[in-house]
């Protein structure tokens, strides 16, 4: 609890330094970054054989290249323009991934042209929204297995998301604490009343 109450967010430069801490030298076309979740590039998304071999059931941010593979595609058109507001995609993307993973057999591929910018940003947002991770913790998790390079603009959007989520968690924590205090007061009041009744 104290960690949340005393939490101080990192600035943009600290986040960029965090990304540079990735020690991986060789980048693969596709990487397993979470149970049944993969980040990949455009080549992966268009490789019919690889998709079948990986048993991919859902693809985020890709055109429906192979409709015959029984894959659920969720394309985000605004992601094709670098200047677009990616934050508008955070919640829809997170819901798509989360819903897909409800089924044990599902495997999700999140992809963009190089698999380091748009796709990585969406996955970071998913970790923050659905798994209560701070932005720096989400970054630390991903760079253990894949080198990513979200643009500065995308990092700023993630920082705003982080601030919003942290504030909501703090408010929730305050509500819980207030509820406990009310419960204590009610129990104390009940105890006093019981004692009064005993002395009647």
The enclosing domain of 121 has a CATH number of 3.90.190.10
Which pTM does this prediction carry?
A: 0.84
**Domain membership flag for residue 172:** no
Annotation marks residue 112 as catalytic: yes
Q: Where are the beta strands (DSSP E) in the chain?
A: 30-34, 37-40, 58-60, 72-74, 108-111
Binned at pLDDT 50, 70 and 90, residue 143 comes out as very high
Closest of 31, 45, 9, 58 to residue 148, by C-alpha: 31
**Domain membership flag for residue 63:** yes
> Quick check: 33 pLDDT over 90?
yes
Domain count, the chain: 1
**Domain membership flag for residue 175:** no
> Quick check: 117 pLDDT over 80?
yes
CA distance linking residue 17 with residue 95, whole number of Å: 29
**Domain membership flag for residue 180:** no
How confident is the model over 134-145, as a mean pLDDT? 97
Sign, CA dihedral 95-98-104-110, equals positive
Binned at pLDDT 50, 70 and 90, residue 34 comes out as very high
Instruction: Give the domain extent around 144.
Output: 11-163
Q: What's the Rg (C-alpha) of the chain? A: 22
CB 52 within 8 A of CB 66: no
**Domain membership flag for residue 199:** no
Binned at pLDDT 50, 70 and 90, residue 75 comes out as confident
């Amino acid at each position: 609890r104290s960690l949340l109450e005393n939490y101080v967010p990192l600035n943009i430069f600290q986040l960029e330094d965090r990304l540079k801490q990735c020690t991986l030298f060789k980048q693969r076309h596709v990487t397993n970054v979470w149970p049944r979740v993969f980040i990949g590039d455009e080549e992966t998304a268009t490789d019919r054989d690889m998709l079948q071999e990986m048993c991919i059931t859902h693809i985020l941010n890709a055109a429906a290249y192979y409709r015959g593979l029984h894959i659920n595609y969720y394309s985000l058109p605004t992601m094709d323009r670098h200047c677009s507001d990616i934050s508008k995609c955070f919640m829809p993307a997170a819901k798509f991934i989360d819903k897909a993973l409800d089924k044990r057999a599902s495997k999700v591929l999140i992809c963009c042209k190089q698999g380091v910018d748009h796709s990585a940003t969406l996955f970071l947002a998913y970790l923050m929204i659905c798994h209560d991770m701070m932005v720096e913790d989400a970054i630390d998790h991903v760079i253990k297995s894949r080198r990513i390079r979200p643009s500065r603009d995308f990092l700023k959007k993630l920082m705003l998301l982080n601030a919003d989520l942290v504030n909501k968690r703090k408010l929730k924590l305050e509500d819980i604490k207030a509820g406990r205090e009310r419960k204590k007061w009610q129990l104390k009041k009940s105890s006093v009343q019981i004692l009064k009744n005993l002395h009647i």
